[in-house]
């Protein structure tokens, strides 16, 4: 079953936004500068999260398809193996 791309990417972006905001605030930057940097970081984190989740989904789907094909091949070969006994 594929993962939900949007919800995971939004969660990553929100965490990144607050993390970058906290780092900027601790560094003594102005609130506007913290907000700009955190917003840009969150946008980039969202894009990276979408790409990462889509890549994981592609890998998982490929593995599931390969597994299903292998099971079908084994089931097709099972009657032939029993006939040879």
The answer to whether 37 and 20 have CB atoms below 8 angstroms apart is yes
Q: Per-residue pLDDT tens for 10-22?
A: 999 999 999 999 9
* In the predicted structure, residue 1 carries a pLDDT above the cut 90: no
Q: Per-residue pLDDT tens for 38-80?
A: 999 999 999 999 999 999 999 999 999 999 999 988 888 877 6
Within 13 Å of residue 42, how many CA atoms lie on the same side as its CB?
17
**Residue 15 confidence (pLDDT):** 96
Q: For the full predicted model, state whether its pTM sits above 0.85.
A: no
**Residue 77 confidence (pLDDT):** 82
Distance CA 78, CA 6 (A): 43
């Amino acid at each position: 079953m594929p993962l939900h791309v949007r919800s995971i990417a939004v969660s990553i972006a929100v965490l990144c936004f607050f993390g970058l905001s906290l780092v900027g605030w601790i560094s003594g930057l102005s609130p506007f500068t913290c907000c700009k940097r955190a917003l840009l970081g969150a946008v980039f984190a969202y894009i990276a999260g979408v790409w990462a989740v889509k890549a994981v989904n592609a890998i998982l789907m490929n593995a599931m398809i390969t597994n299903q094909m292998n099971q079908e091949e084994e089931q097709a070969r099972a009657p032939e193996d029993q006939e040879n006994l």
